[in-house]
Structure 1
Amino acid sequence: MFKPLVSVLTVLSILPNIQAAAPTASTLFLSETETQFSVNIANDTDDVFIYFSSPAYSWVAVGFGERMQNSLMFVMYPSEDGKNVTISPRIADGHSEPSFTRNIQLETLPGTEIKDEAFILKARCRNCQVWGGGYLDKTSTTHPMIYAFGPGNRLQSNKPDAPLKRHIRYGKFTMNMVAATGKGEVPAPSSALSGVEIKGGMTRDHDRANLAHAVIGCLALFIFWPLNVLLAGFFKKMKLHIGMSVFIMIFLIVAYALGIYTSGEYNRSKKFNSPHQILAFITLLPILLISILPNPRISQLTPIIPRLHTPLTAFTFTFLVLTGGLGLHLSNSSRPIILIYTSISLAVFLFILLIQSCIWKRGSRYSRHRRSRHGEAEEDEQDLVLAAWYAGRKMEEQESRSTSAASLNRHDGNGNYGNNGYSGMGGNGSGQNIYGGGTMPGPQYLMNMHPGVPVHKW
């Protein structure tokens, strides 16, 4: 009598266990970060079901492929309000930031959220077994996979193509896709590896080129530039000033080269059309001018050129500082770093302004002292340069006229010069020891003799 009842109860007790059986899946679990990535491949459709959970870093990604190039990646980051998850399917064309692809249809399912400071993604992926440059091999028991974690600062966006900062940790593993194939459904949460083999440990990454680009540029602007102003203005060490200028140019060239190299790693800078890059290229013109204008052959072409050095230097410094600030914005730097950079920029700018003001006042006092001592107007430093330039030009003209006169007044061998009728002893041929031909100034004129007065030979 009780045997049928016992059998029914036994069957009923087994049914919940059958219903609670975990879906077919292969699972990656990283104990260091408590990150889980599970895959289920439907055996009756081309759908792939995903369960992805991780602490809320700026972004977390897992990709199908052996390396970044041509891998299909699923990148998670917080939504704009910080209450949900943005999932972005991306494909990379090299060792650079992957780009969002619209060819992958990813549908988020109920249960996707940010809970207890952790991402939780439940999704169905359609048309994601084949993509440009790669495919998911359902028959592989060791399908190559990669994972990566973004830096600690928060990224919040609803856009699937939001810019990413370089990862700080990454690694590789293989996944058994045969074991993951079964009835199509979202895998369950798990804290154990299943059908996965981790290849090596988690590798820590560094963006050394980008860091060097920023550090070298700041050293050139905030250390060597004001030091060079001191050398030129107060100590009058022109050789040291020239050497320091060359040193600064080398630093700037290296900073530009590193900036161009790192630009190719990010989607936001690959096309070189950001304000930071545009202003950096514009600033190359004044940098070139302050490098070549001091050349004597160029500086003596016109009196305006020597006066351009100081304003061009100030203009270049200002543009380089603005370029650096825009670079921090382009790299998504944190607010404290931007505030520190702004403070240092203002301090150095005021320091250079103070130095140049002192140099100008010092030159004015020196000029007034010279005027009171000699009773005549003295030029300041730039005017002296211009005066020297004019003097050089005048001497060249005098030498040209002297050469022309000498070619006309050739000696005929009899004491006569040319055909002007003057003899070697005077214009009248009388034998008087008079040079200069009456009222013409003679050679003794350069010894402060008055023009128009006959000069006798001693």
Structure 2
Amino acid sequence: MKSQSLPSAVFVIFLPFVLLAASQAETGISSFVHATQYGNITFAATLARDGDLFFHLEAPAANSWAAVGIGEGMKGSLIWVFYRNDEGNGVTLCSRTTDGNVEPAHVEGSNCVLYDGPGVENGVFPINETDFFVANVRCKDIVSPKSNTTTVVTTTTNSNSNEVHKRPTLPRVEYTYPHPYIFPKLSSANPSQAFIFALGPTDRKLRSNNKGAPIRRHSLYGHFRLDLSAATVSTAAEVPYEALGATGTWQNRHAQLGGGLGAEKNYSTKRDRGGWEGTIHAILMTSTMVILFPVGVVFLRLVEKVRPHAVMQAIGCVFVIVGMAIGIWAGGKYNQTKRISQPHQIIGFVVVAFTLFQFTLGISQHLLSKKPRQHAGNAIHPKNRPNVVLLRRIHVPLGSLILIAGAVNGFLGFLLTANESLRIIYAAMVGFVAVGLVVALTWIRAVKRKERRRIEERSGIDEGSTYQNKDGVEAEKDQRIAQGDREMGILEMPPYGLPLGYSAPPVPSRPEIV
């Protein structure tokens, strides 16, 4: 008895799914299903000959967004993008388009909205213990009943033309497509309509009700084709809403993977390995502001050699110039940054300009201090000293401001990536380097102070003692000048054991020859 009841129970459990699959196959629905490492992406559609398109989408919610578009490529395609709403449990639908392989922008007037009803829900739901975006969309007046090819209409209104398709204007949102857009029309007789699809990255969090919310570059994209002639009903009243809104039961029907343009004809899906330009930009700028420049400062204070310091600063200048150029290029691919209006970009230009100015100041200061000196102890010539002091007073605090501004601007840059993990790593790196820099400079200053006292004690020269150098100037004055120069970082350390400010023993004055 038990052996007979078990098959019956299994039959009863799976009977609804079998009937639902049969109804989907028989009621004018074409469906595309593609397995990805994140989960299946599903697109099922029904066209009503009186003008409307109804479609159902499922996509893994581990990705920050999912999208399906009409056409063989991104350029000019009508792309439906889905992501979590502000609460995180619903979906936001936005219709977008783009002029090329860059971030698409919201296009107004698509007449595509989410719909629900008995057995039809929209939101983020678990399917087989994995969260999925589930969306049911109705696009009004997008089906052409006359042609068997895709036709287009323009959004630009013209009262003198009956061919212009007028659409209501939606409230303007951030990052709206700025040009007149030609909306595609689908043919109910088309046996091979081209579509594109994509999934966003998994290391970003996106929750927004804004239809123009920024999205990051896709991690996977591909092409497929649907037989729309097999997915057509006469009117919207005949659309199988419940069967079309089912979740987790879909199979490929009247669908074919592949069908891109040009080189993309050779593959159906592709993992996106692009986006390297943003990574290179971040590496160059971060390594310069957080590593190269601070290490260069410590190097100068520790060994008091100008050349290694200058080399590191020169390398840093090259890095920031290249990083800025790559950043401008990368910014042109995103709606947020293509207009160069973000605080990160503006501050970045200022920081790069002052970095180059700072490098010029350092070179000028070094060249002035290298001119012939007429005082003992390598003291700078009196004519050059005011200029060197002025440059020094600008160079040191400006360098500190550049380091601080560069570090803060790096954090603003990581805010644009919407990657919380990268922000945490960067903040930890900046904090570690800042603490290390303060500790290192404090230790170096203490060591120098101790060394200076020991040299003064070994020299046996009192502060009030006077010698005359070959120019007849008191050595005490020269000593104070040279000591001040060294404290400003423009002289090298004297040999061990010599009086501070001298590179050779004092030369006694010679009698004048009459």
**TM-score, structure 2 length as denominator?**
0.67
How far off its partner does 1:386 sit? 8.4
Q: Structure 1 residues 86 and 363, CA, compared in 2 at 3 Å: closer, same or farther?
A: same
Q: Structure 1 residues 140 and 305, CA, compared in 2 at 3 Å: closer, same or farther?
A: same
Matched AA of 2:228: M
CA distance in structure 2 between the aligned counterparts of 1:382 and 1:161, rounded to whole angstroms: 59
Matched AA of 1:28: F
Q: Structure 1 residues 188 and 386, CA, compared in 2 at 3 Å: closer, same or farther?
A: closer
CA distance in structure 2 between the aligned counterparts of 1:55 and 1:387, rounded to whole angstroms: 60
Match of 2:422 among 337, 354, 376: 337
CA distance in structure 2 between the aligned counterparts of 1:126 and 1:50, rounded to whole angstroms: 12
Is residue 134 of structure 2 the alignment partner of residue 120 of structure 1?
Answer: yes
How far off its partner does 1:248 sit? 1.4
Q: Which residues in structure 2 correspond to 1:352-431 (within 5 Å)? A: 352-365=437-450, 367-368=452-453, 373=459, 374=461, 375=463, 376=476, 378-379=480-481, 383=485
Q: Provide the residue aligned with 1:347 in structure 2.
A: 432
Q: Provide the residue aligned with 2:281 in structure 1.
A: 213
Is residue 64 of structure 2 the alignment partner of residue 58 of structure 1?
Answer: yes
Matched AA of 1:103: G
Matched AA of 1:140: N
Instruction: Please tell me the root mean square deviation across aligned C-alpha atoms, in Å.
Output: 2.9
CA distance in structure 2 between the aligned counterparts of 1:172 and 1:216, rounded to whole angstroms: 35
How many percent of aligned residue pairs carry the same amino acid?
24
Is residue 52 of structure 2 the alignment partner of residue 47 of structure 1?
Answer: yes
Q: Structure 1 residues 97 and 353, CA, compared in 2 at 3 Å: closer, same or farther?
A: same
Q: Provide the residue aligned with 2:346 in structure 1.
A: 278
Q: Provide the residue aligned with 1:392 in structure 2.
A: none
- For residues 140-161 of structure 1, the C-alpha deviation after alignment (integer angstroms, 9 at most, x for no partner) is 3222211000122432212211
Matched AA of 1:26: S
Q: Provide the residue aligned with 1:76 in structure 2.
A: 82
Match of 2:193 among 115, 138, 143: 143
How far off its partner does 1:230 sit? 3.2
Q: Provide the residue aligned with 1:156 in structure 2.
A: 207
Is residue 223 of structure 2 the alignment partner of residue 172 of structure 1?
Answer: yes
Q: Provide the residue aligned with 1:191 in structure 2.
A: 250
How far off its partner does 1:135 sit? 1.8
Q: Provide the residue aligned with 2:381 in structure 1.
A: none
Matched AA of 1:355: A
Bigger drift between 365-374 and 76-85 goes to 365-374
CA distance in structure 2 between the aligned counterparts of 1:128 and 1:294, rounded to whole angstroms: 65
Q: Provide the residue aligned with 2:148 in structure 1.
A: none
CA distance in structure 2 between the aligned counterparts of 1:275 and 1:381, rounded to whole angstroms: 43
CA distance in structure 2 between the aligned counterparts of 1:276 and 1:366, rounded to whole angstroms: 44
Matched AA of 1:193: N
How far off its partner does 1:113 sit? 2.7
Match of 2:97 among 91, 102, 113: 91
How far off its partner does 1:192 sit? 1.8
CA distance in structure 1 between the aligned counterparts of 2:71 and 2:183, rounded to whole angstroms: 8
Larger-Rg structure: 1
- For residues 402-442 of structure 1, the C-alpha deviation after alignment (integer angstroms, 9 at most, x for no partner) is xxxxxxxxxxxxxxxxxxxxxxxxxxxxxxxxxxxxxxxxx
- Structure 2 SS opposite 1:107: strand
How far off its partner does 1:20 sit? 5.0
**TM-score, structure 1 length as denominator?**
0.75
Matched AA of 1:50: F
Q: Provide the residue aligned with 1:225 in structure 2.
A: 293
Q: Provide the residue aligned with 1:267 in structure 2.
A: 335
How far off its partner does 1:174 sit? 1.9
CA distance in structure 2 between the aligned counterparts of 1:283 and 1:226, rounded to whole angstroms: 15
- Structure 2 SS opposite 1:122: strand
- Structure 2 SS opposite 1:103: coil
Is residue 110 of structure 2 the alignment partner of residue 104 of structure 1?
Answer: yes
How far off its partner does 1:88 sit? 0.9
Matched AA of 1:144: A
Bigger drift between 126-135 and 283-292 goes to 126-135
CA distance in structure 1 between the aligned counterparts of 2:490 and 2:294, rounded to whole angstroms: 29
Is residue 319 of structure 2 the alignment partner of residue 234 of structure 1?
Answer: no
Structure having greater relative contact order (Cα 8 Å, sep ≥ 6): 2
Structure 1: runs of 5+ lacking an equivalent: 1-15, 390-445, 450-454
Matched AA of 2:58: S
- For residues 122-149 of structure 1, the C-alpha deviation after alignment (integer angstroms, 9 at most, x for no partner) is 1211244546245234143222211000
How far off its partner does 1:256 sit? 1.3
Q: Structure 1 residues 179 and 381, CA, compared in 2 at 3 Å: closer, same or farther?
A: farther
Bigger drift between 96-105 and 351-360 goes to 351-360
- Structure 2 SS opposite 1:34: strand
- For residues 18-57 of structure 1, the C-alpha deviation after alignment (integer angstroms, 9 at most, x for no partner) is x9564313211113322211122211x2211111112213
Q: Contact 1:23–1:188 at 8 Å: present in 2 too?
A: no
- For residues 267-287 of structure 1, the C-alpha deviation after alignment (integer angstroms, 9 at most, x for no partner) is 111211112112111212320
Is residue 396 of structure 2 the alignment partner of residue 310 of structure 1?
Answer: yes
Q: Contact 1:370–1:378 at 8 Å: present in 2 too?
A: no
CA distance in structure 2 between the aligned counterparts of 1:257 and 1:320, rounded to whole angstroms: 16
- Structure 2 SS opposite 1:36: strand
Q: Structure 1 residues 23 and 218, CA, compared in 2 at 3 Å: closer, same or farther?
A: same
Structure 2: runs of 5+ lacking an equivalent: 1-18, 144-151, 154-180, 259-266, 369-383, 464-475, 492-508
How far off its partner does 1:384 sit? 5.2
Bigger drift between 346-355 and 361-370 goes to 361-370
CA distance in structure 2 between the aligned counterparts of 1:244 and 1:123, rounded to whole angstroms: 57
Q: Structure 1 residues 125 and 350, CA, compared in 2 at 3 Å: closer, same or farther?
A: same
Match of 2:408 among 322, 329, 335: 322
Q: Contact 1:59–1:75 at 8 Å: present in 2 too?
A: yes
Is residue 270 of structure 2 the alignment partner of residue 203 of structure 1?
Answer: yes
Q: Contact 1:41–1:47 at 8 Å: present in 2 too?
A: yes
Matched AA of 1:136: K
Q: Contact 1:176–1:195 at 8 Å: present in 2 too?
A: yes
